[in-house]
Amino acid sequence: MQTADVVIIGGGIVGSSIAYHLTEAGFRNVLVIERESHQGKGSTGKSMGGVRAQFTTPVNIQMSLYSIPFYAAFDQRLDHPAGYRPQGYLFVATKSSHLQYLEKNQQLQKELGLRDVRMLSRNEIIDMVPQLRSDDILGGSFCPTDGFVDPYSAMTGFIKRAVENGATVWKSAEVTGVLKNGARVKGVQTTRGDVHAPVVVNSSGAWAAEIAKMAGVDLPVTPLRRILIPTEPFDGVSHEIPMVIDMTNGFHFRPESRGFLLAWNDPEETPGYKFDFDPDFIEKVLTRAADRVPCFENLAVNPKRAWAGLYEMSPDHHGIIGEFPELPGFYAANGFSGHGVMHAPATGKIVADLITTGTTGVVDNVAVLSPSRFKSGDLLQETSLL
Ligand SMILES: Cc1cc2nc3c(=O)[nH]c(=O)nc-3n(C[C@H](O)[C@H](O)[C@H](O)COP(=O)(O)OP(=O)(O)OC[C@H]3O[C@@H](n4cnc5c(N)ncnc54)[C@H](O)[C@@H]3O)c2cc1C
């Protein structure tokens, strides 16, 4: 019989960060179980890698205030590159309601300690990205410590250090059931046999609801397809620009390699495990791209290089982190709704803190993230979604 102190289901960036933080806290017998032959084949390897603290709720802002400095110090701390590039996020407002919204959010962000976030005038935006069509731009919001990381590399750094600290990773091993001892979790059933453990953490990304079902608990996480379109090399816009978000329609883009990465969240998308996409989608994105950045009309795109991945959506678009009161020992680290890479460092620390001490200093009120909030109806609301 295999035993572990903690079993972590899913070896993406969230599971890897949890393994890292647990082993840094002194745990040695930590087992990460990943059903794919390689880690990162879930959402982590499909991510746009954006990191930002420009959110609207205290808990999301505080998770970023732990995570972004963590990424800034990652290479030194873990002796492995996270690829953090502090090029900023620039929200471009085209309505006065957008400006009011950004100003209100900034007030909260500053109160919580985000020093460098600031409003920009139309002219400052034009200086920053001269190629934007600016006739309707009223101003915007910019934070220079926001930016991008390399999600795959960050995941690798977390798991490498966790293994050096004593953790074990099983690949090509699928969790097929959750074992219970009365009302407590007892371990997991896997394609490699049973593992007994007093603590089991669900970090299985967009598949998290299926694992929760195996444990007999409800976890409202649904998969939602997101598509990214990388362009061919293009030098008509600087590669030092921030992530730019056109608040008119949600189109956003950032430099990637010698080209750009284009994204737009289709409001007509429906939940499901979907990875295919229609070439019409590329046309919809390119139309929005050329509308905001006229020289993008000349962008070359190879549809074969575009990809689709899954957001793991929760009903209030916040992570679901904590122990299930109805199944002690069973923890959720799920539902990040498109923010799982940027919040992976904070999530790992919070889960490790909860397992070791039952509380955490990363956020003021960790209870707001608890899986039990869906029963009590105490939901959060994050409106700054990309
Ligand atoms: C197109 C796109 C763009 C994105 N952009 C951003 C961004 O800019 N910034 C950001 O922060 N986030 C972004 N995200 C979201 C981010 O990628 C996810 O929130 C994050 O990767 C979640 O990490 P995870 O480890 O929880 O999940 P995953 O990386 O999906 O890992 C879960 C793992 O669990 C494994 N698994 C599932 N079931 C089982 C089982 N039964 N047994 C064993 N293993 C199992 C899977 O194989 C998988 O490897 C984006 C996502 C997509 C799709």
At CA 173, angle to CA 149 and CA 176, rounded to 5?
110
Kindly give the number of the ligand 1 atom that is closest to the alpha carbon of 190: 42
pTM for the full predicted model: 0.97
Kindly give the number of the ligand 1 atom that is closest to the alpha carbon of 308: 1
For residue 273, give the DSSP letter.
S
Q: Give the residue from 352, 42, 21, 17 showing the smallest Cα distance to 155.
A: 17
Contact between residue 61 and residue 113 where contact means Cβ atoms under 8 Å apart: no
Contact between residue 8 and residue 165 where contact means Cβ atoms under 8 Å apart: no
Q: For position 379, what pLDDT does the model report? A: 82
pLDDT tens for each residue of 12-67: 999 999 999 999 999 999 999 999 999 999 999 999 999 999 999 999 999 999 99
Instruction: Give the E-state strand segments of the chain in sequence order.
Output: 2-3, 6-9, 30-33, 50-51, 89-93, 118-121, 139-143, 147-148, 168-170, 175-181, 184-190, 193-196, 199-202, 222-230, 243-246, 252-256, 259-263, 307-313, 320-323, 330-334
Q: Give the residue from 319, 364, 365 showing the smallest Cα distance to 344.
A: 319
Ligand 1 mutation pick, 43, 321, 331, max ligand atoms within 8 A of CB:
43
Q: Is 36 in the pocket of ligand 1 (CB under 6 A)?
A: yes
C-alpha 38 – ligand 1 centre gap (Å):
13
Using CA atoms, how far residue 188 sits from 6, 21, 54, 147, in Å, is 11, 21, 38, 38
pLDDT tens for each residue of 108-166: 999 999 999 999 999 999 999 999 999 999 999 999 999 999 999 999 999 999 999 99
| Residue 247 confidence class, pLDDT cut points 50, 70, 90 | very high
Contact between residue 151 and residue 341 where contact means Cβ atoms under 8 Å apart: yes
pLDDT tens for each residue of 248-287: 999 999 999 999 999 999 999 999 999 998 888 999 999 9
Does the pLDDT value for residue 378 go beyond 90? no
Does the pLDDT value for residue 97 go beyond 90? yes
